[in-house]
Structure 1
Amino acid sequence: MGDRRNYSDGYWWSKDGLRLHYRDYPGREDRPPILCLPGLTRNARDFADLAERFSGEWRILCVEFRGRGESAYAKDPMSYAPLVYLQDVEALLADLKIERFVAVGTSLGGIVTMLLAATDGEKLAGAVLNDVGPELNPAGLARIRTYVGKQVWYPTWMHAARGVAEANADVYPDYRIEDWLAMAKRLHRVNSQGRIVLDYDMKIAEPFRVPGNEAGPDMWPTIDALAGRPLLVVRGERSDILRADTADKMIARAPGAELVTVQHVGHAPTLDEQAAVAGIARLLAQVAP
């Protein structure tokens, strides 16, 4: 899985008193760190392969939003919202005294990246938006609402892999059983009863089920805020979240930005695909030649 223990665990506190977690992979101090922000139901493990590939040359911080992984669960489920995640990330940046960074955001993490561009854009040395944009396809959002917040459990990792495969066969049609097993281990944890369960607070679904809460107001100005700095938009060819015409419009509004389409993949690319890796490498070369 590329998830060797070559990182340290870091923690910080949110404004409302939650202890939040990130993985800290070491890298050069003369370059801005890479801040990895995961999708709605995901965690720091999603970026293990990316971190293994680029750490050493780059310091990589893999954030776990509140309610995911080792981060504390929120007392108020309505705080599971992009503007609160933004505040949490800003608290981390302040805690670590980070003045400049590269953001890699998948899905929800990309929404938070866009919000960072709008509120504190001068700190962004570059950004990767993975299968997300200022407009989200309602068909994809409807699909996500069918499963988010529904707890399932499995007796073995192979059962979990088969469950993940059944739910995501259209997203990753080329996956084999070892790929599904690796994904299952990123998505799940073993609870105190020995059951394999999803590694997030089921209550993250509550605000997400309210139409309009996925991102917030008009997000197109955030793309304008990213113009003029290295920007990579990654889109899964089969994505039902980021439409192809939306991706093209993003590139048109941010001169110099690059669009990479990952073939035979839906929402969202894992960023270990050859096309995505090459695109990220090109973006980083613009940040630090």
Structure 2
Amino acid sequence: MTISASDTGFVSRFTQASDGLRLHWRDYGPLAAPALPIVCLPGLARTAADFHEVGLAFGQDEAKPRRVLALDYRGRGLSDYDRDWKNYDIKIELDDLMQVLVASGTERAVFLGTSRGGLLTMALATARPAVIKGVVLNDVGPVIDARGLLRIRGYVGKLPVPRSFQEGAEILKRLSDRQFPALGDAEWELMARRTWTDRDGPLRPDYDTRLMKGLEELDLEAPLPVLWPYFDALRAVPVLALRGANSDLLAAATLEEMAQRHPECEVYTVPGQGHAPLLGARDIIRRIGRLVARAERAAG
């Protein structure tokens, strides 16, 4: 099933998960473009909309347009919500991702993963390594800082519901201005429009608020799993690792170790941003473009 919206720059497509839930993804660029496609995977309570600028930049590139897919996980955006919140789980979301790759005919791609999306990418590298030809990890790595998880747990599913997107922008600014001190009013409103939706009338979060239940079950007093073996599964492909200078989820020391352990891992710290850096700036788009070019050369 597809829903075309020519003025948005993408086509909405749907497929079924293994358990029958309907999954949505945005499809940018030419369907049959020979260039290596990009698959974009958002953060925990985020949606495909976070990658709109990336989708437009690469899907409509005059010299070399390429297909860009941006996913809504189950319980987010236009994908179905799950009756059982315990299914908002990395293993199930990995299977969902594989269903979308099959449905879209994606046999190999560059993967751009923000936060949870980066964890999914590393999991995919252990389960289906041949499909990954390059990776951008946006403010996520093999070691997760518990401070960041604690902060995220404090607001996912718990934000007040604004009466307007302008009020939503004010809420987000109060919550995250220390993480993103350089954002202007227009950028805060854009973030608000990607946090809440008015598709069904009054504003509501654009995700199932029961996502909070999985976070509440985490014991942040206990050591978090260290995922270096998953990161090491990416050794065969070029990697660009981004970190927000103000991030409380990915430590600078972890970023440095990622660069040391991976022979083809370029790292960049995004000034003035926290978790997770916005991807629409020209400099970030250029860096992603260079990574994609490296991946295409390596893939042959």
TM over 0.5: yes
Pick one of 129, 134, 142 that aligns with 1:134.
142
Identify the residue that residue 23 of structure 2 maps to in structure 1.
20
Identity of aligned residues (%): 36
1:76-87 equivalences in 2 (<5 Å): 76-87=84-95
Question: Distance in 1 between the 2:236 and 2:288 partners?
Answer: 17
- C-alpha distance 191-92 of structure 1, shift in aligned 2 (>3 A): closer
Task: For 1:213-228, list aligned pairs within 5 A.
Answer: 218-228=226-236
| SS of residue in 1 equivalent to 2:210 | helix
Q: How far apart, CA to CA, are the structure 2 residues paired with 1:276 and 1:254?
A: 21
TM-score by length of 2: 0.90
Matches within 5 A, 1:112-191: 112-190=120-198
Query: Residue 287 of structure 1: CA displacement?
Result: 2.3
Where 1:12 maps in the other structure, the secondary structure is: strand
Q: Residues 209 and 267 from structure 1, CA distance in 2 versus in 1: closer, same or farther, beyond 3 angstroms?
A: same
The farther-off stretch of 106-115 and 202-211 is 202-211
Within 1, Cα distance between the matches of 2:7 and 2:155? Answer: 30
User: 2 CA distance for matches of 1:179 and 1:132?
Assistant: 22
Shift of 1:8: 0.6
- Secondary structure at the aligned position of 1:31 is classed as coil
TM, length-normalised to structure 1: 0.93
The separation in 1 between residues aligned to 2:229 and 2:219, in whole angstroms, is: 17
**Alpha-carbon distance in structure 2 between the residues aligned to 1:67 and 1:167:** 23
Q: Deviations over 1:227-269 (max 9, x none)?
A: 1311110000110000001111111111111001101111010
Q: Which runs of 4+ in 1 moved over 4 A?
A: none
SS in 1 for 2:51: helix
Give the conservation status (yes or no) of the 8 Å contact 1:262–1:275.
no
Structure 1 residue 277, shift from structure 2 partner: 2.0
RMSD: 1.8
Hey, what does 2:205 align to over in structure 1?
198
What amino acid sits opposite 1:128 in the alignment?
Answer: V
- C-alpha contact (below 8 Å) 1:14/1:88 kept by paired residues: yes
User: Which of these residues, 42, 45, 50, is aligned with residue 49 of structure 2?
Assistant: 45
1:174 & 1:158 partners in 2: Cα distance? 18
What is the deviation of 1:165?
Answer: 1.1
- Distance in 2 (alpha carbons) for counterparts of 1:188 and 1:44: 13
Q: Please give the alpha-carbon distance, in whole angstroms, between the structure 1 residues aligned to 2:40 and 2:256.
A: 24
SS in 1 for 2:194: helix
Residue equivalent to 2:3:
none
Distance between the aligned counterparts of 1:132 and 1:287, measured in 2? 20
AA of the residue aligned to 2:81 = Y
Distance 2:198 2:260 in 1: 45
**Shift in Å at residue 199 of structure 1?**
0.6
Tell me which residue corresponds to 1:55.
59
What amino acid sits opposite 2:203 in the alignment? I
Seen in structure 2, the aligned counterparts of structure 1 residues 4 and 237 have a Cα distance that, compared at 3 Å, is farther
Unaligned 5+ segments in structure 1 are none
Q: What is the CA–CA distance in structure 2 between the aligned matches of 1:206 and 1:185, rounded to whole Å?
A: 24
User: Counterpart of 2:10?
Assistant: 7
- Matches of 1:181 and 1:171, distance apart in 2: 16
Indicate which of 58, 67, 75 corresponds to 1:67: 75
Cα distance in 2 for residues equivalent to 1:228 and 1:200:
34
Tell me the residue number matched to 1:264: 272
Give the total of aligned pairs.
284
